[in-house]
Amino acid sequence: MATILRQVARLEFSGFLSTLSGGCRHGRPYARSHLGSNNRNMSTSSKIKVELDSSNGIAVMKFQNPPVNSMGLDFLTEFSISLEKLELDKSCRGVILTSAQPRIFSAGLDIMDMYGTGPEHCGAFWKAVQDMWLKLYGFSKITIAAINGASPAGGCLMAMCCDYRIMADDPRYAIGLNETQLGIVAPFWFKETMVNTVGHRTTELSLQMGIMYSAPEALKIGLVDQLVPEDKVLSTATNTLAKWLTVPGHAREISKSMMRKPTVDKLLANREADIENFIGFITKDSIQKSLGMYLAALKKKKV
């Protein structure tokens, strides 16, 4: 467990940056190979595996970026490309996000995309984070997070972007936006995503204290919607999504847009300023020094 926590710690810092990206800079064509009679593998990505079941219209996106599904620039770009293709695929009716890695959903954004990379790379990285969030939070189809492991920082943000969250009921796993514990301030769209999920007061406490919630605590505050044994997370998500599909799609999509569009529009209106703020912050000598010290401390722990 100590090893897992160290791996999670490496990426917790990046949660302050975690959202979804949308460019096509690293796009790869979908493979149309068949998996049995109904499933088809829609992705050749090494970091994200996408399978669409043609019998029910449910796609499963599995994160497979060991050791802890860190969200680097490549991961974010591949995620957004995959999600955009599913948005356009008329045979897809809903998407489940989950992890192929044991004991971790996602530990957040990769610190190595922020340390020693320069303003241009940092700007491209942050744009990818914005794009990821815009595509997932504004996704018209049903999304369910099957949280089968720890989910700090960016992993928590990604889960909150989904319509429904099912988490493994395991004392080893926690979820939350813990940026302040690392001296970081979550941007306004992180904050508003959490406000829209658990309310203003709980968000205020969570962000100020950088709280990581156990699964039962997360259920109590509404950060997740359901707890099940770990081996039942994916099957429960599939069954739940099937129930959601009984609601007339057009009415559900309009209702979702009505709730989320104001938050999406706010980021769209402030994207460039948000990127500039991020670049200005992350490239400061003091912040880069802190990142270097943080990485050095992690290396010592691994020895």
pLDDT of amino acid 7: 41
pLDDT-flagged residues of the chain (< 50): 1-37
Continuous segment of H or E residues that includes residue 104? strand 103-104
pLDDT of amino acid 16: 34
Active-site residues: which are they?
109, 154, 178-179
pTM: 0.84
pLDDT of amino acid 30: 34
**Cα dihedral 102/27/72/260 (nearest 10):** -90
Q: Which among 156, 42, 166, 146 is positioned nearest to 101, based on CA atoms?
A: 146
SS3 content of the chain, % helix, strand, coil (to 5): 55, 15, 30
Burial of 252 (0-12, 13-18, 19+ CB in 10 A): middle
pLDDT of amino acid 43: 56
Helical packing angle, 249-269 and 271-282, nearest 10°: 60
pLDDT of amino acid 38: 66
- Quote the CA–CA distance of 49 and 62 in Å, as a whole number: 5
- Quote the CA–CA distance of 176 and 172 in Å, as a whole number: 14
pLDDT of amino acid 181: 81
pLDDT of amino acid 182: 75
**Cα dihedral 204/209/214/219 (nearest 10):** -10
Continuous segment of H or E residues that includes residue 60? strand 58-63
Domain architecture of the chain: domains with CATH: 2-302 (3.90.226.10)
| Rama region for 103: left / alpha / beta (φ>0; ψ in -120 to 50; rest) | left
- Quote the CA–CA distance of 68 and 148 in Å, as a whole number: 12
Using only C-alpha atoms, what is the Rg of the chain? 18
